[in-house]
Structure formats: C-alpha cells, structure tokens
Amino acid sequence: MFTFALAGLKTRCEPLPIVHMSRSSTTPPRSRTLAIEEQKQVFHRLCTWIEEHLDEPIGWQELMRESGLEFQVIHQLFFQYTSTSPMTWIRRRRETRCLPELERNPSLRLGDPQS
C-alpha cells in the first residue's frame, strides 16, 4: 500500500490485478498484477499524455492505445488514484485550463441563463 498525490488529492493504494495489453493490437492481452510502482508510472504517464492532448478529442480508444491497458483497468486506476472516472477527470482538467481565460475575458461566457 502507498499514498499517491495528484493535484493535491492524496489516496492510499494497493496493487491491482491488471490485464495489460501490448501497444500492438495483434498481441493478445496478458494477465498479471502490476506492482505499485508500475501502477504509479503507468498512471502518471497516462495523465501526462492526457495533459499534453487536452485540446484534442480523447476517448476510450485513445486511452487504451496510449496506456496499453484495457478499459476496465484504466477505469479502475482512475478511481483508485482520483476517485473519479477518466472522462470526468479529463473534463475537469479542461475546465480548469479554461477557467483563467474565462475570468480574463467575460465576452467568452455563454451569458446569463436567466435571460
């Protein structure tokens, strides 16, 4: 078990049983348990890739291709480390990135929903 901190969020984690896929789509997935350090590396690498590609469409196929992991494993890692799903985390990162610009430039806002 270890404590992992990402953007101020700390969580305790244990090793996950993970089906790890190779980056080649022709190689079938192999089952094994990722060590805690490997979990952190895979998760950090995927989060870094997401940050670098926030301006592009990111879906499950892109996440699986980039990480070499299956859908369920990615979902499990995100819930373990962030307490949210990958798509929610991506949306929040995009919102966080846009917020300063919206505060500086009110003309970009959609308007008052009451009017």
Examine the pLDDT at 5 and tell me if it is beyond 80: no
Question: Which domain range does residue 9 map to?
Answer: 2-19+30-98
Find the mean pLDDT for residues 24-43: 64
Report the percent of the chain where pLDDT is more than 90: 42
Higher pLDDT, 89 or 37: 89
Q: Tell me the pLDDT tens digit for each residue of 61-111.
A: 999 999 989 999 999 999 999 999 999 999 999 989 888 888 888 777 776
Query: Rounded mean pLDDT of the chain?
Result: 76
Residue 38 bridge partners (DSSP): none
Determine, yes or no, domain membership for 25: no
Helices (H) and strands (E) in the chain, counts: 4, 4
What the block records as the tokens of 86 is 């990958």
What the block records as the tokens of 35 is 């060590």
- Total tally of structural domains belonging to the chain: 1
Determine, yes or no, domain membership for 61: yes
How buried is residue 51: exposed, middle or buried, by Cβ count under 10 Å (0-12/13-18/19+)?
Answer: exposed
Determine, yes or no, domain membership for 50: yes
CATH code, 61 = 1.10.10
Question: What's at 23, amino acid-wise?
Answer: R
Determine, yes or no, domain membership for 49: yes
CA nearest 49: which of 69, 24, 75, 67? 67
Higher pLDDT, 22 or 58: 58
